[in-house]
Amino acid sequence: MQEHIFEDRIYYRTNEFKPERLTLVFAHGAGGSSSAWLPYEKIFENKYNILSYDIRGHGKSKKYLNYEDYEIKKFAFDLHDLVNYLKIHKFILISNSFAGLVAFEYIKMWRSDVIGNVFTSPEVFLHEGLFAKIVRPMVSLLSRLFTILPFDPKPRGQVDYSKHIGSSDWDIKRNLADIRNTTPRVQFYAIQQSLNPKQEYCLEKIDVPTLVIHGELDSMVPMKNSIRLSKEIKNSEFVCVKNVDHNTVHNGVKFMSAAIESFIEKNKNVLK
């Protein structure tokens, strides 16, 4: 895998692209970095074209000052700019947690680019219900408080998730590593976006093979949300990762990679 920076704003990694192979695009969740996908790159890089990247404000990608800079639509435009630059015209989009929202937004605008979806622990339907109404004002207040802190636009780096294998949803060491890397400002901006009451998914536009994966013990996003998501998307299947929480990417590598491979093989005749 080779490392690159696009327009001094988006960090990404690729292997050697071959025209006869399918392309997998990996997008990580809020607070994380593309280093979360390193084990999957090793598993898949000799069979597929691979693109992993740090979403804006995370990892080695550019950090932005204002809440408006973290609108979901702007994350989607970043990805579109990047795949256009790399001349990737068709790809399977594998999104984790917060990046599921980016995937929904991307598909709204550039449906023909995405030939298949894999959603892992997607932050879906979090803006609905009583819990969101209670938490949303608190998150908004914290977001405003963090704007008082000095802003350092320099990218910080990536978290070494090999040090956090088996960590729980609320593991202090891993969460602090994420926050130090991303900054509290960006972290809470992303959470605030997840709870945005104006969130629109346009699931009717998703008409390509789709796999939804969710951890059985997820304490951040109820598994029932992913089950509902799978039911509302045509040509979709749901897979539960037993004895794993929201950290499916870190804690379920063997199961997840096998599920992704099985999904691709099952749908290889239409993933073109």
In the chain the domains, ranked by start, together with CATH numbers, are 2-266 (3.40.50.1820)
Tokens for 62, please give them.
């550019």
d(CA 7, CA 267): 35
Residue 60 neighbours by CB under 8 Å, 6+ apart: 5, 11, 33, 54, 155, 156, 157, 158
**Which of 129, 139, 181 shows the shortest CA–CA distance to 160?**
181
So what's the pLDDT on residue 132?
72
So what's the pLDDT on residue 114?
96
Contact status, residue 214 vs residue 226, Cβ threshold 8 Å: yes
Q: What is the pTM of this model?
A: 0.94
DSSP E strand stretches across the chain: 2-6, 10-14, 23-27, 49-53, 91-96, 114-120, 210-215, 236-241
Query: Half-sphere exposure (CA, 13 Å, Cβ side) for 166?
Result: 1
So what's the pLDDT on residue 91?
97
The letter for the amino acid at 51 is L
So what's the pLDDT on residue 153?
81
Residue 114 neighbours by CB under 8 Å, 6+ apart: 90, 91, 92, 93, 103, 106, 107, 208
So what's the pLDDT on residue 44?
97
Tokens for 93, please give them.
């989009």
So what's the pLDDT on residue 97?
95
Query: Half-sphere exposure (CA, 13 Å, Cβ side) for 228?
Result: 11
Work out the angle at residue 11's Cα, subtended by the Cα atoms of residues 10 and 13, and round it to the nearest 5 degrees: 130
Regarding beta strands 236-241 and 210-215, do their DSSP bridges make them parallel or antiparallel, or are they unpaired? parallel
Per residue of the chain (272 residues), what is the pLDDT tens digit? 999 999 999 999 999 999 999 999 999 999 889 999 999 999 999 999 999 999 999 999 999 988 899 999 999 999 999 999 999 999 999 999 999 999 999 999 999 999 999 999 999 998 887 667 787 777 777 777 777 778 888 888 899 999 999 899 999 999 999 988 888 888 888 888 888 877 888 888 899 999 999 999 999 999 999 999 999 998 899 999 999 999 999 999 999 999 999 999 999 888 87
Contact status, residue 102 vs residue 76, Cβ threshold 8 Å: yes
**Which of 79, 61, 75 shows the shortest CA–CA distance to 5?**
61
